[in-house]
Copies of this chain bind each other. A is one copy, B any other.
Amino acid sequence: GEALVQRARLETGLSAARLTGEVARTTGQLRMFAEVLGEGSWHGARIDPAQPDRAPQPRVDIRQRRIPLGPVAVFGASNFPLAFSVLGGDTASALAAGCPVVVKAHEAHLGTSELAARAIRAAIADTGLPEGVFSLLVGAGHDTGTRLVTDPRIQAVGFTGSRRAGRALVRAAAERPVPIPVYAEMSSVNPVVLLPGALAERPEELADAFAESLVLGAGQFCTNPGLVLAVEGDGFDAFAARAAGAIDGNAGGTMLTTGIAESYRRETEAVGARPGVRVLARGAQPDTASAGRSLLMAVDGDDFRADPELQREMFGAASLLIRCRDLKHVTEVLEALEGQLTATVHTADTDLDAARALLPVLERRAGRVLFNGWPTGVEVGHAMVHGGPYPATSDARTTSVGSLAIERFLRPVAYQNVPDALLPPPLQDANPYRIPRRIDGRLDLG
């Protein structure tokens, strides 16, 4: 653990405290999947017993369970060198599903990747698993990744990263002679709506919490609050002034790589130059090439709706405050948004009707809807969805965080009139694993 944290600190610029937290997240994630395997619902066991006397035709015995898809290629994220990388959520959920994993090491933390891979190899040796259950692949450029995804033995792909790289992998997988699923978590600007009651009640508290969420980890989170929507007025002005004050001269932070820092500068400059965009505040001028300068901008709702370029993820501590005329205008702006990982609403008691009306709009656009919180911080649990409509991910039907992620790497198989002795244990009459099963459509806890 200690060596891993030190190596990751050197390679990523993230703090030891943050990385120590990530170690706990990573091991907690593995323990969660161990519990999921023990609980047994993941088998998806279903039994429709034979009905030999059914008319006009007897019913055969049909049983269903899920089996692993096969070897999975995993591309880790730069911003979570432990929890979303070699031994991260994709690897954990694929291994839990029974799939061998081949990880393409992220170039931004090769040493951390090798240390994590050694830990996995040691665990494989300790438990007597076949060596092929896990491999780490190191290679520069996109070519290694493309060759991995197009290898006929690979049956699914987990990816976290940029939209450009994610789309390239999706395309490569679709063009294979036998196409395979790609679970790419790509980009999101995570709209936050400040409803009028909340804004009237606590504009400065909201601004402080927003600024804190925005600059956390130099803004390098896929759930970073990149858009804030609110109705114009005194509350809006108070929020904007306080948030600008918090960002103005903010020390910023070291970004993960100079490439990410360069891309952040390029993206923020591009967005800042769009029609109608005003800069409200900038962080302190950085003194190194890999530092990111925090940035708060503002734009009117109509300008935002007219310009799809303003929806681009800037991946860093930059956010766009969108001024709307009224709640209808807020809804129109939300309806113009691409798919998102998260959508957040801040409310006061007087906002509940407005919030109720917004919920269906937010559900259609995001994988997670939050009230009175900030989207950074993704709880690892059974109910979490870290996913959402395209282009937040390439496949909205699932999640890359939380126990539901195991389902990405399974497929159902039915067994018709297979003798009990040959059935896999989850489907045998005696239910030897004591797992929940669906018998004739009804759940049986086992």
A159 → B minimal CB distance (Å): 15
Are B64's CB and A383's CB within 8 A?
Answer: yes
Q: CB-CB < 8 A to A442: which residues of B?
A: 39
Copies of this chain held together in the complex: 2
Is A64 a contact of B404 with CB atoms below 8 Å? yes
Interface SS of A by simple majority: mixed
A48 interface contact, C-beta 8 A: yes
Contacts known (A60-B379, A64-B404, A352-B421); A412 close to B385, Cβ less than 8 A: yes
Contacts of A404 in B (CB 8 A): 46, 64, 412
B422, A359: Cβ atoms under 8 Å? Answer: yes
Q: How far apart sit A57 and B181, CA to CA, in the bound complex (Å)?
A: 35
A32: min CB distance to chain B, Å:
8
A179 contacts the other chain (Cβ, under 8 Å)? yes
Chain A interface size, under 10 / 10 to 19 / 20 to 34 / 35 or more: 35 or more
**B46 engages A383 (CB within 8 Å):** yes
CB distance from A365 to the nearest CB of B (A): 10
Residue of B nearest to A338 (CB): B178
Selected from B69, B379, B382, the residue in CB contact (under 8 A) with A438 is B382
Cβ B413 vs Cβ A369 within 8 A: yes
**Taking CB as reference atom, which chain B residue is nearest A444?**
B445
- Which of B57, B64, B379 touches A48 (beta carbons < 8 Å)? B379
A22-B381 Cα distance, complex, nearest whole Å: 44
Q: Give A contacts to B, CB under 8 Å.
A: 21, 32, 35-36, 39, 41, 46-48, 56-57, 59-60, 62-64, 67, 69-70, 170-171, 174, 178-179, 181, 339, 352, 355-356, 359, 363-364, 366-373, 377, 379, 381-385, 387, 389-391, 394-399, 403-404, 410-419, 421-422, 436, 438, 440-443, 445
